[in-house]
């Protein structure tokens, strides 16, 4: 993060930020990386940040459910409260999947 972005996060107190971890299954990590890289103003390791938001990705892992094996990634969102609902809605729409 740049100095100005770090200062922006320092100015946001914990009561101004909503933190939520999404336990995502069936979508490979590279898809999150591609989406977040396009939106982020800074990338530092597994953390992507933009104006009023920060997303951290866990390592990709395999999880089994019976005979099915799915890729799993935990996505931790830290978003300014006034942006959270819109950010989450847009994020989820981007990763909707259909199947049958």
Q: What is the per-residue pLDDT across 2-53, written as a single tens digit (0 to 9) for each?
A: 555 554 454 456 788 999 999 999 999 999 999 999 999 999 999 999 999 9
The predicted-structure confidence for 67-94, as pLDDT tens digits, reads as follows 999 999 999 999 999 999 999 999 999 9
Q: What is the dihedral of CA 1, 42, 19, 92, to 10 degrees?
A: 180
- What residues have CB less than 8 Å from 73, skipping those under 6 apart? 24, 27, 28, 29, 32, 57, 58, 59, 60, 61
Most distant CA atoms of the chain, gap in Å: 49
Looking at the predicted structure, is the pLDDT value of residue 95 above 80? yes
């Amino acid at each position: 993060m740049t100095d100005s972005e770090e200062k922006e996060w320092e100015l946001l107190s914990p009561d101004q930020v909503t933190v939520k971890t999404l336990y995502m299954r069936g979508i490979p990590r590279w898809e999150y990386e591609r989406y977040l890289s396009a939106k982020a103003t800074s990338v530092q390791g597994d953390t992507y940040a933009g104006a009023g938001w920060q997303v951290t990705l866990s390592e990709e892992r395999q999880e089994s459910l019976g005979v099915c094996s799915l890729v799993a990634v935990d996505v931790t969102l830290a978003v300014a409260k006034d942006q959270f609902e819109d950010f989450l809605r847009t994020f989820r729409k981007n990763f909707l999947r259909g199947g049958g």
